[in-house]
Structure formats: structure tokens, C-alpha cells
């Protein structure tokens, strides 16, 4: 899932040549190695006795790969043209599509359908409505937390980094680019991310006998994967709420609907802000 952005960066490489290109290649290679080790560790048989060890090793490899990949992308984008919209779209699509493919393979191994695995047929209207209402109540809280986080960072003289979504939307100058971004953000991303985090990782750790660990591990991963400090706290709280929705409805459609509305409102807000600035 995380190799897509690296491949896209290599295809749309805009950094200087020479030593910088070699540095990018080496960082990308090591990142690939760590991410490959993550996949190997995920194939191991996790038991109650070795769960903590395998989880720790998996997280170390995963975040090492992510950080190195991010470093490599910064080097590649620091050149003449910066990050390209094509690079961002390929990276986003690769992550979401890979998540859905991996989940599909997992369900096939378990001889389960998507509806059976995630309860889609279980009072789906109520589940979707519950998700929409819950996220509507959360949105003002999330925006307040994000503003508070940014103010704290400014107070300790840390400049809040610009959100990747803002950069991506600014670079998407054509209506086709923005349409693709909207589809990925509002439709594809919620399905892929909720299926992976709430549908697979959370119940797997919970059924191993660690319900609290399952809640916090998946929530922290969900917040951290977006790699933006000002949004970490609101996304952490959102992840906890999404897990609560899944538990209460027994239908993954509830957190998917909530996640989709959350993304849609923020996408629209960012778009309007960009329109006013241009």
C-alpha cells in the first residue's frame, strides 16, 4: 500500500540529478525493504504469547519504511517542479486499492463474503444514518481540536505543516484532477481505510484477547498514517468514535458513512478556501 507513492515519485521525479538522485534511490530501496519486512511479519502466526513482540516488530518496520519513504519523496520533490498532482493521485490510489485487494484476498481465504465479513446487510439504513449523525456532532469538536493543536505548535514555535490535502487540492488545477481527488477522498478512501482498520486489524487484535489494545493500536495507526501533527488529535478521537460506531451497529457501513461525510465536508471546505484565495 505504501510503495505506490514511492513508485509514483520515481515516475514523476523532479529533483536534481547526480548524488541527490542516488540518495533518493537508496532511501527508496531501504524503505521498500522495511515495508516488505512488514508484510512478512504480518504473515506470521500471532498467538497470545508472542503478540506483543510481533506487534512491536511490525510497527517498527512499518514506520521505518514510512519515514524513509517520506524522506525520499521530500528529496525528489525538492527540485524544480516539486510534487506533481499525478504523483499524488497515483500514490493515493495505490494505497486505497491495495487495501481493498488485500482485504478481498483475506475474505476469500476465510470463505466469507463482504456482507458476511462486515455486516453490510445488518440494518444498513440505521447504521448509515447513525454514522452520519455521529460525525455531524463530531465535526465542530474536531475542528476545535485541530485549531487548538495548531495554536499549541505555534506557541512552542513550531510552524504547523501545511496539510497534504491542501497541497494536493491546490495542485489540482483542472476539473478532472479535482473530480478524481473527490472520488478518491469521499468514496474510495473511507471504504478502504475503514475496511482495513476497523474491519480487519481491530477485530483481529480484539479476538486475540486484547480489546483495549485493539482500540488504541488501530486508532493511533489511523491518526499517524495521515502524517500531519495538527490533525493527529482530531483524527485519533474520530478513530475512537468510528470504532464505537462499528461496535454498536455491528455494521461497517456506519463508520464508512461517517468517514465519508467527514471527508466530504472537509474537502468542500478546503475547496471553498482555495477558491477564495485564488
Contact call for residues 91 and 172 (beta carbons, < 8 A): no
Q: Cell match 475547496: residue?
A: 271
Is the model more confident about 69 or about 153?
Answer: 153
Q: What's the whole-number average pLDDT of the chain?
A: 78
> Could you say which DSSP state residue 173 is in?
-
Rounded-to-integer distance, Cα 191 and Cα 198, Å: 10
Give residue 188's pLDDT band: very low, low, confident or very high (50, 70, 90).
confident
**DSSP for residue 80:** S
- From the CB of residue 207, how many other CB atoms can be counted at a distance below 10 Å? 10
Report residue 232: phi and psi, to 5°. Answer: -65, -50
Question: DSSP letter string over 102-130?
Answer: HHHHHHHHTT--HHHHHTTTSSHHHHHHH
Res 242: pLDDT: 97
Q: 122 near 225, Cβ under 8 Å?
A: no
The reported pLDDT for the residue numbered 82 is 43
> Higher pLDDT residue, 69 or 144?
144
Give residue 48's pLDDT.
Answer: 57
What average pLDDT does range 131-151 have in this prediction? 92
- When pLDDT is averaged across residues 135-149 and rounded to a whole number, the result is 93
pTM: 0.72
- Does residue 9 have a pLDDT over 80? no
When pLDDT is cut at 50, 70 and 90, the band that residue 161 belongs to is low
- Domain chopping of the chain, boundaries: 1-83, 84-277
Amino acid at each position: 500500500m505504501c510503495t505506490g507513492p514511492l513508485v509514483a515519485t520515481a515516475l514523476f521525479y523532479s529533483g536534481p540529478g547526480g548524488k541527490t538522485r542516488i540518495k533518493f534511490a537508496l532511501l527508496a530501496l531501504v524503505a521498500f525493504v522495511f515495508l516488505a519486512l512488514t508484510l512478512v511479519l504480518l504473515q506470521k502466526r500471532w498467538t497470545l504469547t508472542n503478540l506483543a513482540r510481533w506487534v512491536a516488530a511490525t510497527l517498527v518496520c512499518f514506520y521505518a519504511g514510512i519515514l524513509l519513504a517520506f524522506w525520499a519523496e521530500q528529496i525528489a520533490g525538492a527540485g524544480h517542479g516539486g510534487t506533481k498532482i499525478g504523483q499524488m493521485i497515483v500514490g493515493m490510489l495505490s494505497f486505497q486499492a491495495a487495501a481493498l485487494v488485500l482485504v478481498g484476498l483475506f475474505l476469500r481465504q476465510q470463505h466469507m463474503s463482504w456482507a458476511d465479513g462486515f455486516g453490510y446487510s445488518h440494518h444498513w439504513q440505521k447504521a448509515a444514518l447513525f454514522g452520519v449523525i455521529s460525525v455531524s456532532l463530531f465535526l465542530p469538536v474536531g475542528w476545535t481540536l485541530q485549531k487548538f493543536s495548531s495554536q499549541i505548535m505555534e506557541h512552542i514555535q513550531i510552524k504547523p505543516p501545511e496539510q497534504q490535502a491542501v497541497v494536493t487540492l491546490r495542485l489540482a488545477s483542472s476539473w478532472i484532477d479535482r473530480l478524481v481527488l473527490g472520488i478518491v477522498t469521499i468514496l474510495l478512501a473511507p471504504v478502504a481505510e475503514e475496511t482495513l482498520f476497523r474491519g480487519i486489524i481491530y477485530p483481529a487484535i480484539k479476538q486475540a484477547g486484547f480489546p483495549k489494545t485493539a482500540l488504541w493500536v488501530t486508532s493511533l495507526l489511523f491518526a499517524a498514517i495521515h502524517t500531519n501533527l495538527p490533525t493527529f488529535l482530531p483524527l485519533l478521537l474520530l478513530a475512537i468514535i468510528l470504532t464505537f460506531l462499528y461496535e454498536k451497529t455491528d455494521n461497517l457501513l456506519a463508520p464508512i458513512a461517517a468517514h465519508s461525510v467527514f471527508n466530504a465536508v472537509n474537502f468542500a471546505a478546503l475547496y471553498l478556501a482555495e477558491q477564495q484565495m485564488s
